[in-house]
A and B are shown apart, each in its own frame.
Chain A
Amino acid sequence: MLFNLSLRIKLPLLGAALILVTALALSTSFLYQTWEAVRRDTFKNLNDLGQTMSRALFPALLHDDIWRAYETVSLPFKDSESAQAESLIVLDAKRRVFASSHPEKHPVLSELASLGADFATLDRDIAAHPEDQILTVERDSATHLFIVIPIESDTIRLGSLIVSYDNAWIRQRFIEFIERAAWITLLILAVLLPINWYWGRRMVAPLQEVTDRLSQISGGEPPPLDPKLYPYNDEVGALYLAYGQLVEEMKEKIVLKREVVKHERMAAVGRLTASIAHEINNPLGGLLNAVSTLKRYGSADPLNQKTISLLERGLTQIKETVAALLVEAKITSRQLTPHDLEDVRVLVSPGAHAQNTRLLWKTALSAAVPLPSTPIRQLLINLTLNAIQAAGNDGQVEVNLHAGETELQIVVENDGEGLSPAVRERLFEPFAQVSEHGNGLGLWVCYQIVTQLDGSIRAESAGPLTRFVVTLPLSESSER
């Protein structure tokens, strides 16, 4: 159940758990050390206090001066709140109370053993303990810890000083420490947990972006992912890069797929057109011959002559159309020369002039190139006339022809109205009717020529410009 939670919750939870565990572990270790330190400090303080006092108490015992002993042991209790020990008791050599910081609890001359269970046990401990050594008594069952310090000088022991300490005080000091530590820990958690929560969200948000987009991929083109959303060089950054590449590749694939489909369709249309044209061409020759014979040797009846003439014009139109469909680029032809280009310019210029279109002719061909001149001339004429027509009045057409080492590139662009997507889809198909003029075979012819010459033709729309780019390979292949 927990593992099904969103990372957005899981990461902060995990972080919080780690922080808590760390805080607990540190606190525990700190508290243990504090406990030890508090105990050590307490023991040391009591010991120091006792040792100092025992020296001052020696003359008091020696002179049997109860008052002096009392004044000495009651000194630490002047400010009752800050007392280190609970009480200080001076015993004489017979373990009777000589003086005590709290005489009411420990009356002068009373036997130590008579002061209560703890003291009775202590009395036995002192009796059993070596004379000249400090005795520390700490029992879990006892409410007090005792340090018994001999009051002696020059190996003569006159009595003992009992430093009594209430165990509860150590616990109380320790609890104060715990409270302080707890507050500090809570304070740190109050700072760390929101940071942790924020960090968790920050970690997960970019992953969420990727997930959202991946889930949409099946619907078609993958939605783009701005790499600026996550500009860092870590694993998530790598994921963003990989996603970007994936999107690019998928786009290319889609484009390629479309190209292939279009190409296949065009090829099918080409084959169909060619076979129909051939089928028509064969009888057409006979028909035209028959009409010609009729015209020459038939009756001179004007009606007949008129009908024959009508037939002849119709058949001729069919022949021209079929001839246009039957593009034959690979017919043997002389090589393309700079003169050919100049011829084309002369041919198309009047059209441009007629509608006041500027024609920029930028052809750079220094010598003949190994390409058949006739289809290239037709190609160039078709493209340029189309462009002039598209440019319209006061438009501009630019023709670029450039021969490289391995290929010839022709770029024809105009600044007329662009191509609509629907038009682009069926651009090179026969009778696609790009404009209201022409028969719709111009681009088809161009396409056939380029395809047969193993080149490529594509149309681009760049802002107000419509551009046709033709690339033709220059090699012995064109000589075949």
Chain B
Amino acid sequence: MGLERLLRLCLAVWVLTASTIGMGAEWTRPIRVGMTPAFLHDQHAMLAEWKLYLQNELKRPVVFVQRDSYQETMDLIHKGKLDFAWLCDYPYIALGRLVKILAVASYRQQPIYHSYLIVPSSDTHTRSILDLKGKVFAYAAPQSNTGYVVPRYQLRKAGVDANTFFRKTFFTWSHSKAIRAVASGLAQGAAIDSYVWDSLQKVDPKLVAKTRIVWTSEPFGFPPIVADHAVSKADFQAFQNALFRMKDDPAGRALLDKLNLDGFVEGTPSLYKGVTDMMRELGDL
């Protein structure tokens, strides 16, 4: 009797110790995911839910590293401080071999989005970006495809110097803030991510109603979620699967609804050829 009891106790102690050590080891290696203004990254409640969801799926702690500029997130990748990151097209292309595509969001059944040229809704006569000569123009960020590359490329195509065409330009460092700049009348025009504008229409329809879409660009590959080149194959697979599975899971679906996305799909570098071409044309590559 006494011996049996002692054995049981020993077994219990061993199990407890092992599990504690195991968990401790996992907590020392969280998955670090960089979040950028490529999507609605300022919806903090949604992000917290998503983090919990991913932790549950991966059985590992997940850390979202939020930065307001692509440049800062790019710096973190350069320094090897991130495992994954949701970037805009421009940073992805600029980072080159440092990253590879993990997944692309599917938006309206396609992994693509557009650039919108928006003006205040009170401005009813503007038809193209060329009508905004001498106006105040808001760019999203210097590393934004839809918010910086596209409008400058348009001007370039029209043979206009983007540096002198507008009277004044400034960066808002996020698409939703660019929308707010136009809505408030601070800027008389802005180029923004179609996905953000569409999504914001659900979250803050009053704000969006103060802007008007003047022009829609050709489609571009949706901002990709990338993996650092140093990420292990296992982690890559695990995270990719977690994202792909979201659309098949009720909790995942709910999150996707909040993100205003259909799900995550596989992406290829060829999706971003159009952006690469524009960047070459503008001399950014």
Binding site for B on A (CB under 8 A): 64-67, 70-71, 74, 99-100, 102-104, 107-109
Bound-state CA distance A247–B171 (Å) is 105
Bound-state CA distance A94–B167 (Å) is 16
User: Would you give the 0/1 interface string for B139-178, flagging 1 where the beta carbon is closer than 8 Å to chain A?
Assistant: 0000000000000000000000000000110111100010
The stretch that binds A, out of B38-46, B75-83, B180-188, B211-219, is: B180-188
Bound-state CA distance A109–B167 (Å) is 9
CB-defined A-B contacts under 8 Å, sample of 9: A67-B173, A67-B177, A67-B181, A71-B177, A99-B186, A102-B185, A103-B185, A103-B186, A107-B185
Smallest CB gap from B171: residue in A: A67
Within 8 A of A (CB), among B173-204: 173, 177, 181, 184-187
Told that A66-B136, A109-B136 touch, could you supply 10 new A-B pairs with CB distance under 8 A? Answer: A67-B138, A67-B170, A67-B177, A70-B184, A70-B186, A71-B177, A100-B186, A107-B136, A108-B168, A108-B186
- Which chain B residues lie closer than 8 Å to A65 at the CB level? 170-171
Shortest Cβ distance from residue A65 to the other chain B in the assembled complex, whole angstroms = 7
Question: What 4 A-B pairs come out closest when comparing CB atoms?
Answer: A104-B185, A66-B170, A103-B185, A103-B186
Bound-state CA distance A102–B185 (Å) is 8
Bound-state CA distance A395–B179 (Å) is 127
- Which chain A residues lie closer than 8 Å to B187 at the CB level? 108
- Which chain B residues lie closer than 8 Å to A103 at the CB level? 184-186
- Which chain B residues lie closer than 8 Å to A67 at the CB level? 138, 170-173, 177, 181, 186
Shortest Cβ distance from residue B35 to the other chain A in the assembled complex, whole angstroms = 20
Bound-state CA distance A103–B180 (Å) is 11
Smallest CB gap from A104: residue in B: B185
Bound-state CA distance A108–B166 (Å) is 12
Bound-state CA distance A70–B181 (Å) is 9
Bound-state CA distance A233–B22 (Å) is 96
Shortest Cβ distance from residue B212 to the other chain A in the assembled complex, whole angstroms = 15
- Which chain A residues lie closer than 8 Å to B138 at the CB level? 67
- Which chain A residues lie closer than 8 Å to B184 at the CB level? 70, 74, 103-104
Bound-state CA distance A358–B282 (Å) is 153
Smallest CB gap from A98: residue in B: B168
Smallest CB gap from B136: residue in A: A108
Shortest Cβ distance from residue A110 to the other chain B in the assembled complex, whole angstroms = 10
- Which chain B residues lie closer than 8 Å to A100 at the CB level? 186
Bound-state CA distance A109–B170 (Å) is 13
Bound-state CA distance A107–B187 (Å) is 9
Shortest Cβ distance from residue A22 to the other chain B in the assembled complex, whole angstroms = 53
